[in-house]
């Protein structure tokens, strides 16, 4: 079976964890009931049934080897039907979804260095790929640029720091656009740091995930920099 030809199905699960992990993001875990496991790849998404005719897409943040309990990071701040639905759910409640979906998959066959550029919950597919492949030969040298606004918006920072200290081939670079406190790290737009700190963009695969403005801006600048279109991979969460 090819990695990208997994047929999506409908799954029944229960919400097994719901924890606020930043000013606006919840970590949610779905424990599968029927079928009890799902085969998926790093970068796949699921489509959650919120109400008749209303679905919301969520990227899987868990590594594919965790095929019975799936992890999501969910920004509830738009507070539309999706955010309200999650806030109203209790641990133990049933959840139904369709999955796995999408084509924004980590390219396991590429020999190139991977640059992962995320804003907000756009970090989900990168956590999945890093946790799955860093312990293997499959993950090439990689850098995660993680853009958020304020200190209180940061999440999973400890997890990425831990991965970067365990695997020398992985570098973690959080960037805050509007820090309010004594943040001593990078300040500004995440995309500017990619251009300042990467010397050989043409020889990288560049994965962009999160808000539309960042993705559009990065895409145009990368093309202007001579990065081949096929090395730029995009997953837009919202415009």
Gap between the Cα atoms of 117 and 216, Å rounded: 12
Binds ligand FAD by CB under 6 A, chosen from 43, 120, 147, 174: 120
Q: How far is the CB of 122 from ligand FAD (least distance, A)?
A: 8
3-state secondary structure of 113: strand
CA dihedral 192, 198, 201, 205 (to 10 degrees): -90
Q: How far is the CB of 146 from ligand FAD (least distance, A)?
A: 14
239 forms part of the interface with ligand FAD (CB under 6 A): yes
What is the residue-wise DSSP string for 116-158?
EEEEGGGGHHHHHHHHHHTTSSSSPSEEEEEEESSGGG--SHH
- Nearest residue by C-beta to ligand FAD? 80
Q: Which is nearer to ligand FAD, 19 or 197 (CB)?
A: 19
Binds ligand FAD by CB under 6 A, chosen from 131, 151, 205, 235: 235
Binds ligand FAD by CB under 6 A, chosen from 82, 99, 147, 174: 82
71 forms part of the interface with ligand FAD (CB under 6 A): no
Beta-carbon count within 10 A of 136 CB: 8
Q: State in Å, rounded, how far the first CA of the chain is from the last one.
A: 34
Residue ranges in contact with ligand FAD by CB under 6 A: 45, 56-59, 72-75, 77-83, 102, 120-121, 124, 235, 237-239
């Amino acid at each position: 079976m090819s990695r990208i030809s997994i047929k999506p199905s409908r799954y029944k699960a229960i919400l097994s964890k719901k924890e606020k992990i930043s000013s606006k993001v919840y970590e949610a875990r779905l424990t599968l009931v029927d079928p009890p496991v799902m085969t998926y790849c790093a970068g796949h998404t699921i489509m959650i049934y919120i109400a008749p005719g209303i679905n919301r897409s969520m990227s899987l943040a868990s590594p594919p080897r965790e095929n019975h309990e799936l992890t999501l990071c969910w920004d509830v701040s738009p507070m539309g039907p999706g955010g309200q639905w999650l806030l109203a759910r209790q641990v133990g409640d049933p959840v139904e979804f369709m999955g796995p979906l999408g084509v924004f998959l980590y390219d396991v066959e590429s020999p190139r260095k991977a640059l992962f550029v995320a804003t907000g919950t756009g970090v989900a597919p990168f956590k999945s790929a890093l946790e799955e492949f860093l312990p293997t030969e499959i993950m090439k040298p990689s850098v995660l640029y993680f853009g958020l606004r304020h200190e209180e918006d940061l999440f999973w920072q400890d997890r990425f720091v831990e991965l970067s200290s365990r695997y020398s081939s992985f570098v973690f670079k959080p960037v805050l656009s509007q820090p309010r406190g004594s943040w001593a790290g990078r300040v500004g737009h995440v995309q500017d740091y990619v251009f300042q700190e990467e010397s050989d963009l043409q020889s990288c695969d560049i994965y962009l995930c999160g808000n539309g403005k960042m993705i559009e801006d990065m895409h145009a600048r990368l093309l202007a920099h001579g990065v081949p279109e096929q090395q730029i991979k995009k997953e837009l969460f919202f415009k």
